[in-house]
Copies of this chain bind each other. A is one copy, B any other.
Amino acid sequence: MPSISIKGELMPESPIRKLIPFAEKAEQKGTKIYYLNIGQPDIETPQIALDALKNCQDKILKYTHSAGNSSYRNKLAKYYQKNSIIISDENILITTGGSEAIIFAFNACLNPGDEVIIPEPFYANYNGFAVTCGIKVIPLRSSIEADFALPPINEIEKLITKNIKAILICNPNNPTGYLYKQEELEKLRDIVLKYNLYLFSDEVYKEFCYDREHYSSLKLEGIDENTVMLDSVSKRYSECGVRIGALVTKNKKIISTALKFAQARLSPPFLGQIVAEASLDVSHEYFTEVINEYKNRRDFLVNALNEIPGVYSPMPKGAFYTIARLPVKDADHFAEWLLKDFSFHNQTIMLAPASGFYASRNAGNNEVRIAYVLKLEDLKNAAAVLKKALEVYPHKN
C-alpha cells in the first residue's frame, strides 16, 4: 500500500486519547466519573438562540456567503464595538469554529518552515494546526511559580531568529486561565513592531474574565497590519457544536487572502450562523449570571485544590481552566491510575495531564489541567475524590 504522509505521522494525538479506554471501563463497572478534563460547558445554550433555530423558515438549507452572512458580520462588528474595538464587517471573516480561523491565519500569513512563538503551556491543538500548515512552534516557557505571567521581554527576544514570523497568544489563556495585562500586551506590541512579526491573538474566552477586564489585542495601537484576532462562539454562548468562529483583522490583504481559502471550502455552516447571530442578542444579565457561576466554581475549586496537601494552583483570572501542580512523580500515570485502580464512594475523576500542553520535553510532568465546567455540587465531590486519591496514591513525590 502507498505510505501515509509525513504530516500524518507527525500529527499529535489528543493528549487524553489514551485515557479514554480506561474511562470507558470504569463507567462499565458502574463508577461515576467527574470529567474535569474537558472544555464542554454544562451551561445551557441561550434560549434566544435555540428559538431562532426553531423559527427558521428556510425550505432550502443553502450555502451562505463564503465570508459568512453579511447580517451576522455586521452584528458581530457591533458586538466588538461595544468593547471599544473599532472593527467593521469588512474586517471579519466567519469561519467554521475557531479552529478554522487559526488554520486560515497560518495559511494566509506563514510559509512552511516558518516559526511561531507560543507561551507554554498552551492549547494542545495549536500543535496540530502547526503540523497541518507545516509551521514550527517555538515554546516560550511560562511557569506555575510565576502564576504563568509572560516572561520578561528579554527572555522573549532571546527566542527571536530570522525564522520567527509570529507570536501567538491565547488571552485569557487555555489551559492556565492567565489574563494578560495591558502592559504585557504593549510589550508584545513593541516586539512585534521591532521584528516585523504577526501577532495572532486567540480571544475565544474574552467574556470570561474575573477580577479585572479583558484587553483585546485589537486595541493595541500601531500594529493594525500585524494583528489577527481569532474568535469563536463555542464557549461564549455554550454552543460548541455550531462550529462558528471568526478571523478579525484590520489588515485587508489578510482578509482577502483568507477569503480565497474560505471560497475553496464554499461556506461556513448556515444553521450555526443563525444560532450565533441570535446569540448576540442575549441580555447583559446572561453574561453576569454565567460569569458569576464560573467565578463561584473557580473560587471553590482553586481554594479546595490549595487546601489539599502538596497541591498548588494559581488563581486563574479568566477562561475556565486552571493548571494545578500535584505531589506526584508523573501526572500521566496518576490520571490513568485514577480511572483504572481507584474509586472513592464509587466515584473517580478524569484529569488532563498537563504534559500534553507543553512543547518542551519533560515539562509539566507533575501538573494537570482542570476545567471547572461542572456544577458546584459535582466540583465538590470531585475535589473530595482528588484529596482522597492523593492520600492513597503510591507514587507520590
Which A residues fall within an 8 A CB radius of B? 1-2, 4-9, 11-14, 17, 40-45, 50, 53-54, 56, 59-64, 96-97, 99-100, 103, 107-112, 125, 128-129, 132, 134, 165-166, 196-198, 225-226, 234, 238-243, 251, 253-254, 257-258, 260-261, 263-272, 275
- Shortest Cβ distance from A103 into B: residue: B265
Contacts of A268 in B (CB 8 A): 243
Q: Which of A242, A257, A264, A272: most chain B CB closer than 10 A?
A: A264
**Are B242 and A270 in contact, with the CB atoms below 8 A?**
yes
Cβ-defined partner of A132 (8 Å) among B234, B251, B253, B264? B264
**Are A134 and B112 in contact, with the CB atoms below 8 A?**
yes
Q: Contacts A4-B257, A5-B107, A109-B4 hold; do A242 and B61 have CB atoms under 8 A apart?
A: yes
Distance (whole angstroms) from the CB of A162 to the closest CB of chain B: 13
**Are B134 and A243 in contact, with the CB atoms below 8 A?**
no
**Are B13 and A63 in contact, with the CB atoms below 8 A?**
no
**Are B64 and A254 in contact, with the CB atoms below 8 A?**
no
Q: Contacts A2-B226, A59-B45, A269-B271 hold; do A263 and B14 have CB atoms under 8 A apart?
A: yes
Contacts of A225 in B (CB 8 A): 1-2
- Shortest Cβ distance from A257 into B: residue: B8
Q: Contacts A2-B165, A7-B107, A50-B59 hold; do A243 and B257 have CB atoms under 8 A apart?
A: no
Distance (whole angstroms) from the CB of A55 to the closest CB of chain B: 9
